Chains A and B, each alone.
Chain A
Amino acid sequence: MTGSPAEAQETLLTVKDLRIEVRTDRGPGPVLVDDVSFTLRRGEVLGLIGESGAGKSTIGLSTLGYSRSGCVVSGGSMMMGGQDIRTMTGAQRRGLRGRGVAYIAQSAAASFNPSITIMDQVCEVAIRQGLMNKAEAEAAARALFRELELPNPDTFGSRYPHQVSGGQLQRAMAAMAMAARPDLLVFDEPTTALDVTTQVDVLASFRKLIREHRTAALYITHDLAVVAQIADRIMVLRRGKMVELGTARQILNEPREDYTKRLVAERAFGQTSTPAGRDAEKPLLSVNRVWASYSKFANVISDVSVELRRGDTVAVVGESGSGKSTLARVIVGLLPRSEGEISFGGQVLSPRLAGRSKDQLRRVQMIYQIPDVALNPRQTLLDVIGRPMKFYFNRSNEEVRARVLDLLRQIDLPESFITRYPSELSGGQKQRVSIARALAAEPDIIICDEITSALDQLVAEEILRLLKRLQDDLGIAYLFITHDLGTVKRIANKVVVMLKGRVVAAGETAEVFTPPHHPYTELLLSSVPEMRGEWLDEVLVRRGAIAAAAKASVATA
């Protein structure tokens, strides 16, 4: 993947024993990065991978001579072009930024100045650094727009950031970074905020850009499958320390450290056989041709039907804006349906919350995406988990306490947590408490709305295992709403694929996910990165046809 051997020899950046810590008013705080060393050759791409708090962004920013407020580089060296970035003067640092090292952030929407045209922002560095005049810089920018496959490259730059789509803006940011032809690009989770189908294209244009210009890059991400497509070497980080450094192939195929093995294994662990709901049985929940909307003019979901039986896990998948979360709100009654019927255990449910009986409410529980706002910060876990028992079953205080302790054991939290407040828990622990709160109502169905998307990979994995175990023990059915097809394949026995408020495919997971499938399902499936370096090349070859078919099907939908 590297350039010619001679070029590959030339070292661009040598980071040695880097240490970054937080400095507070009261002296040194936690260490964010500890003892990290690596070298980067010209044209080489190093992937930095780790969970949140691994220190990967902090390392990336430090190569620009920048640390966020409160953080200090307190040890080690970063040699680039014979100079230590750590000891540069302010003026040297300004010269380095943009020209030597350029940065591509996660959110382009926030990183572009809303009141300046894209062209002016892209050209700014090259003009300011005195590398080009305005006309040259604009010509170069148009060439970059073309290279990055932006629409109407000649006029694209005259637009303001809010006038273009997220994927386009992300590419425009790459153009902005490349404008002064830097030696090193720092990509900081640049595709994380994008939908999967957009991610593939953006990733491909990034790779093309890096390769054609032989630019070295640090590619920071939490997603091993993404980094596998673009990196020559990968460094695994955990809590600021290096776990393992190796070639992409070695890390993916023969990881040495346990932690890396777990990261790699997460994706690999294939489809477990889920006991399929007995189709002969009557459905527990049946959503029949339901329509709903927030305003009179546009339906958010149209003509949607879903069925759920005891022990089922039905996944509802789709990209943002597909109406999948709205479906959840319609089922629980937060958003009244405008047409169609939802019945539960044979009884038709009222469209509104107020029209449902306590027992109907109890039997359908919900778990939310962001655990931080799903739990009342002013209630202890006893109150949080105990309330449904009091509310639905009118249990005495002693019974509630005993049962809460029981549930804490079931979700693998220590009993002493009963007096804690949510703010004293980690993200994964909070999500466990949300599960316990749902279980406290002894429901038949739990609706899980993107419950793992705010969590780190391994933590999310634990949550999924827990849900699975609870299902085996209690026979609860899950309606699992997610955008992550990887998760779907593993845990769901049935799938509903949604696009623009409509169901485009539904059925047994194996059936939906084996060819021939619906064109949009195929587009979605083909967009999920796999942990093979060749995946992106393969998918790009097939992609033209798939995308065209998907577009045609969207038009008819």
Chain B
Amino acid sequence: MIAQRFALGLMTLFAASLLIFGGTEILPGDLASAILQNNATPESLAAMRKELGLDRPAATRYAEWLSGAAHGDFGHSLANKREVANEIAPRLKNTIFLALYAAVIAVPLAVGLGLLAAINQGGVFDRVVNVVTLMTISVPEYFLAYLLIKYLSVQFGFFPSLANVTPNTPILDRMTLTFLPMVTLVLVITAHMMRMTRASVLSVMASPYIEMALLKGLPKWRIVVRHAFPNALAPIISVVALNLAYLIVGVVIVEAVFVYPGLGQLMVDAVSKHDVPVVQACGLIFAAAFILLNMGADILAIMTNPRLRHAR
């Protein structure tokens, strides 16, 4: 069962790599014309194609690219001819740092608040939280980010509005510099995660075996901890994984707002410069993170399901 899911994850990753390669290489208007844009003459196009190796069959190039990628070799950037891998490495670290920073704070916060809201279902806390989180998930990340900048940074100067870290920035400064981007991400994913946690706990709490536990005279804490939580665990895990996957998208925009030198920024730049090798590499990394998270969630859900753990 778990092995099956693992194999499916690998297959999906493979399919995604095909899609990324195919999407950028086979679509009409190939790489060469994309680079040359309006300056393309038939001669320069042909020369460029040769230089890029586009005259060889796509399947060969895909195989080379994939085996290179597996070894951490993503080829050379078209914009500055540097090795893509070297370009990516420090930025990937930055992005992972920011994402982890946000996740470490958001996950316990969201699960805790979600449980609280579920226990007080229909109460004042629950209703207020429902409206507030609904608003938070509706608004774009940059709106929250600029609000934070305007009030916490510009007006009162609590935190810096630019997250211009360098590889040598010490960890504490790094945490201060990335404080506002972190808060923005936390706000967005906490709201999502909290709502979904609340919903999954509520659906468990509505099941007849919880009513039965109540009719057995068990105290509320025991019903929640012993009877509801183990059954809500699987849905909560998948909620968390789903939202961490969502972080990937959030990160791109938040990095742009705070001019944070992460992978998202790099990818956005590469897209506007049509720097395909960089776009491919970033896309593959984002897709891999997304697929791994989803796979991890499914595997954990399988492991926590009593029906699957104890077969008939």
Contact = CB atoms under 8 A, between A and B. Distances in A.
Q: Do A and B contact each other directly (Cβ–Cβ < 8 Å)?
A: yes
Interface of A: 61, 64, 66, 93-99, 102-103, 105, 107, 110-116, 124-125, 128-129, 159-160, 162-163, 176
Interface stretch (B10-18, B208-216, B292-300): B208-216
Interface in B152-200: none
Nearest to B312: A163
B212 A111 contact: yes
A331 to B, nearest CB: 33
A124 B222 CA distance: 11
Nearest to B233: A115
B306 A114 contact: yes
Interface string B201-230: 000000111011111111100100011001
Contact of B219 (A94, A125, A160): A94
A336 to B, nearest CB: 31
B215 A66 contact: yes
B218 A128 contact: yes
A102 B216 CA distance: 7
A105 B218 contact: no
Contacts, number: 71
A105 B306 contact: no
Interface of B: 207-209, 211-219, 222, 226-227, 230-231, 306-307, 310, 312
A125 B216 contact: yes
Given A61-B215, A111-B212, A162-B307, 19 more contacts: A64-B215, A66-B215, A95-B217, A98-B217, A99-B217, A102-B215, A103-B215, A107-B208, A111-B208, A112-B212, A113-B213, A113-B227, A114-B306, A114-B307, A116-B227, A125-B217, A128-B217, A160-B306, A162-B312
Nearest to A109: B208
Nearest to A163: B312
Nearest to A160: B310
Given A94-B218, A97-B215, A124-B218, A163 B310 contact: yes
A115 to B, nearest CB: 4
12 contacts: A66-B214, A93-B217, A97-B215, A98-B217, A103-B212, A105-B208, A111-B209, A116-B230, A124-B218, A125-B216, A159-B310, A162-B306
B306 A94 contact: no
B228 to A, nearest CB: 9
5 closest residue pairs by CB, A with B: A97-B217, A110-B208, A98-B217, A115-B306, A94-B217
Contacts of A125: 216-218
B209 A110 contact: yes
Contacts of A95: 217
B258 to A, nearest CB: 43
Contacts of A98: 215-218
Residue among B211, B212, B307 with most chain A CB within 10 A: B212
B133 to A, nearest CB: 23
Contacts of B307: 114, 160, 162
Nearest to B228: A113
A97 B207 CA distance: 19
Contacts of B226: 116
Nearest to A125: B216
A85 to B, nearest CB: 13
A103 B60 CA distance: 70
Given A107-B208, A160-B306, A115 B217 contact: no
B231 A115 contact: yes
A159 B306 CA distance: 11
Contacts of A124: 216, 218
A112 B216 CA distance: 12
A125 B215 CA distance: 10
A105 to B, nearest CB: 6
A171 to B, nearest CB: 15
Nearest to B218: A128
B222 A112 contact: no
Contacts of B215: 61, 64, 66, 97-98, 102-103
A196 to B, nearest CB: 24
B288 to A, nearest CB: 32
